[in-house]
Structure 1
Amino acid sequence: MAKTSILDKEAQHFGGMAADWWDPNGKSAMLHKLNPVRLAYVRDMIDQHWQCDECGFKPLEGKSALDVGCGAGLLAEPLARLGARVTAVDAAPELIAVARDHAIGQGLQIDYRATGVEDIDGRFDLVTAMEVVEHVADPQDFIDALSARLAPGGLMILSTPNKTGWSKLLTITLAEGFGQIPKGTHDYEKFIDPDMMRGLLAHAGLECIDFEGIAMSPTRGLHLSEDLRLNYLVAAKWA
Structure 2
Amino acid sequence: MLRRVAPSLRRAILTSSAHGRAGAQLTEPGLSPRHALLPQWRLCSSAASTNSPPPPPPPPSSPPQGTPRPAGGSTVSSLNPAEVAKFAAIAETWWDSEGPFKPLHLMNPTRLSFIRSTLCRHFRRDPNSSKPLEGLKVIDVGCGGGILSEPLARMGATVTGIDAVDKNIKIARVHAASDPSTASIEYFCTTAEDLVKENKQFDAVISLEVIEHVANPSGFCESLSALTVPNGATVISTINRSMRAYATAIVAAEYILNWLPKGTHQWSKLVTPEELVLILERASISVQEMAGFVYNPLRGEWSLSDDLTVNYIAYGMKKVETPSESN
User: Do both proteins adopt the same fold according to a TM-score greater than 0.5, normalized to the shorter chain?
Assistant: yes
**Residue type matched to 2:234 in 1?**
M
User: What is the rounded CA distance, in whole Å, between the counterparts of 2:108 and 2:296 in structure 1?
Assistant: 16
1:1-239 counterparts in 2 under 5 A? 3-107=76-180, 108=182, 109-120=184-195, 121=198, 122-178=200-256, 179-220=258-299, 221-239=301-319
Residue 18 of structure 1: how far off its partner (Å): 1.2
**Residue type matched to 2:185 in 1?**
I
The alignment's TM-score, normalised by the length of structure 1, stands at: 0.97
* 3-state DSSP of counterpart to 2:245: helix
User: What is the rounded CA distance, in whole Å, between the counterparts of 2:274 and 2:134 in structure 1?
Assistant: 34
* 3-state DSSP of counterpart to 1:148: helix
Q: Deviations over 1:139-197 (max 9, x none)?
A: 00000000000012211000000111111111110100031111111000011011100
Unaligned runs of 5+ in 2: 1-73, 320-327
Task: Count residues in correspondence.
Answer: 239
Higher relative strand content: 1
* 3-state DSSP of counterpart to 2:236: strand
State the superposition RMSD in angstroms: 1.3
CA contact (8 A) 1:64 1:85 kept: yes
Larger relative contact order (C-alpha < 8 A, sep ≥ 6)?
A: 2
Unaligned runs of 5+ in 1: none
CA contact (8 A) 2:234 2:285 kept: no
User: What is the rounded CA distance, in whole Å, between the counterparts of 1:145 and 1:5 in structure 2?
Assistant: 9
User: What is the rounded CA distance, in whole Å, between the counterparts of 1:83 and 1:152 in structure 2?
Assistant: 21
* 3-state DSSP of counterpart to 2:312: strand
Q: Deviations over 1:175-231 (max 9, x none)?
A: 000311111110000110111001000100111100100112334532110111111
CA contact (8 A) 2:107 2:302 kept: yes
User: What is the rounded CA distance, in whole Å, between the counterparts of 1:38 and 1:15 in structure 2?
Assistant: 24
Residue 3 of structure 1: how far off its partner (Å): 3.4
Residue 84 of structure 1: how far off its partner (Å): 1.2
CA contact (8 A) 1:72 1:98 kept: yes
The structure with the larger Rg is 2
Residue 2 of structure 1: how far off its partner (Å): 6.1
CA contact (8 A) 1:17 1:28 kept: no
